[in-house]
A = this chain, B = another copy of it.
C-alpha cells in the first residue's frame, strides 16, 4: 500500500539516487524528474539509472529555451545582481525547474514533491516556495531536513555504503573537494575546501571559463542588438557570424565569454537564512549581457525612470535570490521592469578579452542621447544662462543651511 506518489527532482548523481531508493523504502511511489537546463549530463544514462532504481516513471525535460526566455531574460532586463556581485545563476534556475516539476506532479496526480537540496542552503527555499506558490496543497519531502534521513547519512561514506547495498551505481571518479551546481547560465562552486574564506580557489576548479592567463591574445568583438531590453541578435563582428534565437544567443555568449575567461567571481554572500557563505561563480554569457544591457539601457532610458528602475532591479534580485520568483511582489516588479524596457532598443558593440568586457560604442533609434544638445562645439537648443538659475535655486537650501549653522569652520 503506497503512501502516495512523489515527484523527485532527480539529478542522476549519488545523492538523489539514494533519495530515490530511500523514498521507495519509505513506501512512496517515485517519479523521477530530470530537468535539462543546460548542465553537462548524459540524460539517457540518467533515465536508465532512475528506471533501474525503481522509478515508476521518468520525465526528462529540455527546459533550456524556456530557462533563457522566461527566467534569464527578465534577469537581464533587471540588471539583476545580488549584493552587487552575484548574477543569480542558480537562483533563476530553481523556479524554472520547480515550475515543471509541479506541472508533472499535478498532471500525474502526485501529492508529494521531493528534492536533494541541503538544509542550510538557499535552494531548498527557492525550490519549495515555487512549489507552494504554484501548487499550494503539495506536500514536500526534503530528506536532508528529515532526521531519519540526515542522521543516517551523515557523510558521503554513508551514502556510498547505502548505494552499494541497494545496487546504486557508485561514482568511480573521486569527488572534487567542493560541490558544484551547473546550468546554462553559470556554474557555482562551494563547500569543502572553499569553506575557508581565505583559501584561494584552485586554478583547475573552473569548467565553464578559460583561465584568462591562457585565454586568446586577441579580443573577440561582438555587436549585441536589443529590443524591449532583451538581446535579439548577436554578431561576431570580425567573423560576421550571428545568432538570433534566445537559446542560440545565450549559448554563443557563453562560448565567447568562456573562451576569454569572462565572469569569474569569488565572493562571500548572505544567504536568506542568515548565514554568510563563500561561493565561486562563473557566468560568462550573463556577464557580457549585463554590461551590454546596462549600456543600452542608460542610452535609451530617461534618467529618472532609470533611478526608479534601478531600485526595482535591486528588489528583484533580492526576491529572486530568496526564492520568491513566484510571488505577487515579484510578479509586480517584473511587470514594472518589463514596462520600463519598452524603449530599450539598439545595438552595443563590445570586445571580450582576458576576462573583461569592454563596451566600445552604441547606437539606437530610441536613444535619448542628443549629440547636438550635449556638444561642446555647438549650442543646440540650450541657453547656458539657464544653468545659472538652476544652480542658484539648488543653492537656496544650502546657503540657508550654512547661514543658520553659523559661520562654522569651512573644513569639517
Known: A83-B298, A339-B336. A198 touches B362 (CB 8 A): yes
Residues of B within 8 A of A385 (CB): 119, 145, 147, 389
Interface pair A399/B85, CB less than 8 Å apart? no
Please report A residues at the B interface, Cβ cutoff 8 Å: 79, 83-85, 99, 102-103, 106, 118-120, 124-125, 128-129, 132-136, 142, 144-145, 147, 150, 155, 179, 191-192, 195-201, 212-213, 217, 219, 264-271, 273-278, 294-295, 298-299, 302-312, 314-315, 318, 323-324, 326-329, 332-333, 335-336, 339-340, 349, 353-356, 358-363, 366-371, 373-377, 381-404, 410-411
Residues of B within 8 A of A391 (CB): 124-125, 128-129, 132, 389
CA distance A134 to B125 in the complex (A): 27
The residue from B271, B355, B368 contacting A401, defined by CB atoms under 8 A apart: B368
CA distance A294 to B339 in the complex (A): 25
Residues of B within 8 A of A362 (CB): 197-198, 268
What 8 additional pairs, Cβ within 8 angstroms, besides A133-B402, A373-B400, A386-B388?
Answer: A99-B411, A133-B399, A198-B349, A212-B356, A266-B361, A276-B303, A277-B369, A324-B398
Residues of B within 8 A of A265 (CB): 359
The residue from B198, B212, B298, B400 contacting A354, defined by CB atoms under 8 A apart: B212
The residue from B217, B307, B314, B363 contacting A310, defined by CB atoms under 8 A apart: B314
Residues of B within 8 A of A411 (CB): 99, 103
Residues of B within 8 A of A389 (CB): 385-393
Interface pair A356/B355, CB less than 8 Å apart? yes
Residues of B within 8 A of A395 (CB): 128-129, 132-133, 136, 274
Interface pair A315/B308, CB less than 8 Å apart? yes
Known: A200-B360, A332-B308, A397-B302. A384 touches B145 (CB 8 A): yes
Interface pair A266/B359, CB less than 8 Å apart? yes
Interface pair B303/A387, CB less than 8 Å apart? no
Interface pair B339/A335, CB less than 8 Å apart? yes
Residues of B within 8 A of A410 (CB): 99, 102-103, 106, 134-135
Q: Which 10 A-B pairs have the closest CB atoms?
A: A389-B389, A119-B384, A274-B397, A270-B303, A354-B354, A304-B329, A132-B395, A274-B396, A302-B328, A136-B399
Chain B residue with Cβ nearest A118:
B376
What's the least CB distance linking A315 to chain B, in Å? 6
What's the least CB distance linking A394 to chain B, in Å? 6
Interface pair A370/B304, CB less than 8 Å apart? no
CA distance A399 to B102 in the complex (A): 14
CA distance A248 to B155 in the complex (A): 50
Residues of B within 8 A of A219 (CB): 213
